[in-house]
Structure 1
Amino acid sequence: RPAGVPPRPSLPRRVVVHAASSRRGSSSSGGRLPPRRGRTSEKPGRSTRAIVEETVMYVEGGEAPAPESEANTEANTSTSYSKLYDRLMSSGPLRMHRQVPKPSKEAQMKEENAYKLWLSDVAVTVKRKYFFGRKFMVRDLAVFALVSSMHLGLLWAPATFSWGNLGLCMLLYFVTGCIGITFGYHRMIAHKSFVVPKWLEYAAAYCGALSIQGDPMEWASTHRYHHLHTDTPKDPHSTYEGAWWSHAGWFLDNEMTLSRTEDHTNAKDMMAQPFYRFMQKTYSWHILLSMGLLYAFGGLPALIWGGCVRTCIVWHITWSINSFCHIYGRQEYDTRDLSKNNWLFGLLAWGEGWHNNHHAFEYSARHGLKWWQFDLTWIIIRSLQFVGLAKKVKLPTEAAKAKLAFE
């Protein structure tokens, strides 16, 4: 926390308030619109459609129920990440549903074996060997083979280039990256920032599966743990363990990752749905089918550009949100973690780069909270809301933003 900034106040009780915009020319005071009775010849146009938003508002006078914790946060603000990690890892299996205190960035900076990342204020301590002198599990080798084969495919990209193949790559980059990951996996499924009809939810989730980042349930569960334990030793990909670890090293170390993400009971809402159970059981077949279709319709060039090139682009942009956006950028809200707003990935990742905004208000369907923070995914959500396909869209109020703002 920057000098002179008071400690973050405890969050008051959260309530959900529904508000509807009135029709143009009406004298509505902002409550719900009365239901129509009988037939009418009036056809509401785009400018007169009543859009219902669900806004999260913090109301003075009540305390939010605190998550189950293993220690008092304020009593441990002087603990470095390294010491907190050593203590937790030596005390038996991690209890992932219990929170631990946030480590002190200043204390971590003073750790003897820590080093500062280039041009940043983040000091890291490498806790696991990345490649040499470590034990590899079968899944580690399988994931490494998959990632390596996709990157090796890039060697054929120059020889198979055409504008048509580049267009195919960009189209699938949007479908799997924006619609699949950002819109589907992240804001809709993991955070429940809005609700759409089931056919649209499942279609977006299927697009996310084609990004080859795991089945929907696995992805959402892991991401929910990331937010519950951001930049603590229970975070699946904390930057305090190194830039490479938070970028890609974490999922190449199955032993450590399973200790943090194997329990999917934080995704019971998805376990109850046959579609997500089906995707979990048959996930690999959908990837093979998609690659087979690319080859069948466009041969090797389509497989290289629509498969390898596109997948690597989506991978590294997604992974960079976990790494670069916890190292480089600006913090506008006191989130007590390393999340930062990064304009470059705000553009490349369809609005996901406004990462400090997201960690401050993880429920928000909109990440670019200021007019100049471009967020294409929010534009898509807002458009779907306008035509009635997206409902219960969650946004932070100005009062909620003011509570966490540094300035």
Structure 2
Amino acid sequence: MSRAERYANLAGVVVPFAGVLIAIVLLWNSWVDGIDLAVLAVMYLATAVGVTVGFHRLLTHRSFAVDPWLERTFARLGQLSVEGSVLDWVADHRKHHAHTDVEGDPHSPHVGHGSGFSGLWHAHTGWLMETQGQADWKKYCRDLYEDPKMKAIGRRFPWYVLASLLIPTALGFVLHGFTWQGAVRGYVWGGLVRIFLVHHVTWSVNSVCHYFGSRRFDIEDRSTNVFWLALPSLGESWHHNHHAFPRSAKHGLKRWEIDLSAMIIGGLARVGLARDVVVIPPERQEAKAMKREKVAV
């Protein structure tokens, strides 16, 4: 990883955190209202769906198919999350699946960085200064690498970072009556705070969901299901289920396992915008289930 890449990633961690500190001050001074929270919620959902439905289930695992225009739309939404270019994200995640919790995994809490807190730190944030974006595009995401339009989207990632901050700033400015205070509030809540939340929920799947939680399938890696992350992660925290069946469009395999991303994919399929949705039948799940459910420690 180059020094410029490391500094850019460091800024991506520190600047949103600074925004959260500013937001605490704004809260203390009652400088937040329903408009600010609505901008935060809309930006969170749009960019998180870009990651969970777009980057992950569509582009990384091909759990379903859509027309090219919609595929590129999901890629753009994913880049607005400020988690790296679409090619970097997909290549890193496919490499994670190729080497899960063994040497070569970009962000395992169990390999190369000790155990306990040091391993969790690496999986959550430390990997951003070492291995993020270093997976070979030609090896791990050749399909995207050979797509000129997808490569063009990836090359424009810095502009998406700028747009990710300008869009909520503009929304705050307009919705608060064309005031500079509204612009600042949009920038802080819909921009910095939202990026902070999306980042740390995503990174928690890398760290927490390979360390704490439940397991029920007979697989070799140390992935886990973490129920309390299901809503903010839009279903991504049923991570053990996902590692058992990586191509499944649905990660919440039991009725009570809430999976908002799967609901969105199902909705797209019902209106004809998604097709070839991968579904894992109950008999395949039973065949891979452990004799007893175990809890990872």
> Which TM-score band (shorter chain)?
0.7 to 0.9
Question: Within 1, Cα distance between the matches of 2:41 and 2:54?
Answer: 18
Question: Within 1, Cα distance between the matches of 2:2 and 2:276?
Answer: 45
Name the residue aligned to 1:245: 122
Which consecutive residues of structure 2, in runs of 5 or more, have no partner in the other structure? 114-118, 174-182, 292-297
Question: How far 1:282 moved relative to its partner?
Answer: 1.4
Question: Within 2, Cα distance between the matches of 1:264 and 1:216?
Answer: 14
Name the residue aligned to 2:74: 204
Question: How far 1:145 moved relative to its partner?
Answer: 2.3
Question: Within 2, Cα distance between the matches of 1:304 and 1:142?
Answer: 19
Question: Within 2, Cα distance between the matches of 1:377 and 1:291?
Answer: 24
Tell me which moved more, 385-394 or 135-144.
135-144
Identity of aligned residues (%): 36
8 Å CA contact 2:209–2:223 kept in 1: the answer is yes
What amino acid sits opposite 1:156 in the alignment?
I
1:337 to 214, 221, 233: 221
Q: Does 1:223 align with 2:93?
A: yes
Question: Within 2, Cα distance between the matches of 1:257 and 1:219?
Answer: 8
TM-score (norm 2): 0.86
Relative distance call for 1:324 and 1:296 in structure 2 (3 A) is same
Name the residue aligned to 1:151: 17
Question: Within 2, Cα distance between the matches of 1:292 and 1:387?
Answer: 32
2:41 to 146, 170, 191: 170
1:369-392 alpha-carbon deviations (Å, 9 max, x no partner):
111111111111111112221111
Question: Within 1, Cα distance between the matches of 2:59 and 2:273?
Answer: 16
1:295 to 169, 172, 188: 169
Relative distance call for 1:377 and 1:257 in structure 2 (3 A) is closer
Question: How far 1:296 moved relative to its partner?
Answer: 3.8
Name the residue aligned to 1:324: 208
Q: Between Structure 1 and Structure 2, whose CA radius of gyration is higher?
A: 1
Coordinate RMSD, CA, aligned: 1.7
Name the residue aligned to 1:185: 55
2:155 to 281, 293, 305: 281
What amino acid sits opposite 2:160 in the alignment?
H
Question: Within 1, Cα distance between the matches of 2:283 and 2:125?
Answer: 37
Question: How far 1:257 moved relative to its partner?
Answer: 4.7
What amino acid sits opposite 1:163 in the alignment?
G
1:262-293 alpha-carbon deviations (Å, 9 max, x no partner):
45432111122222111222110121133234
SS in 1 for 2:213: coil
Question: Within 1, Cα distance between the matches of 2:7 and 2:108?
Answer: 22
**How is 1:21-40 mapped onto 2 (pairs within 5 angstroms)?**
none
Tell me which moved more, 186-195 or 333-342.
333-342
8 Å CA contact 1:176–1:211 kept in 2: the answer is yes
Question: Within 1, Cα distance between the matches of 2:68 and 2:89?
Answer: 19
Question: How far 1:237 moved relative to its partner?
Answer: 0.4
Between structures 1 and 2, the one with greater helix share: 2
Question: Within 2, Cα distance between the matches of 1:293 and 1:406?
Answer: 47
Question: Within 1, Cα distance between the matches of 2:68 and 2:97?
Answer: 25
SS in 2 for 1:367: coil
What amino acid sits opposite 2:18 in the alignment?
L
Q: Does 1:271 align with 2:271?
A: no
Question: How far 1:398 moved relative to its partner?
Answer: 2.3
Higher relative contact order, structure no. (Cα contacts within 8 Å, ≥ 6 residues apart): 2
SS in 2 for 1:396: coil
Relative distance call for 1:293 and 1:354 in structure 2 (3 A) is closer
Could you list the runs of 4 or more consecutive aligned residues of structure 1 that deviate by over 4 angstroms after TM superposition? none
8 Å CA contact 2:40–2:189 kept in 1: the answer is yes
1:44-67 alpha-carbon deviations (Å, 9 max, x no partner):
xxxxxxxxxxxxxxxxxxxxxxxx
Question: How far 1:146 moved relative to its partner?
Answer: 2.9
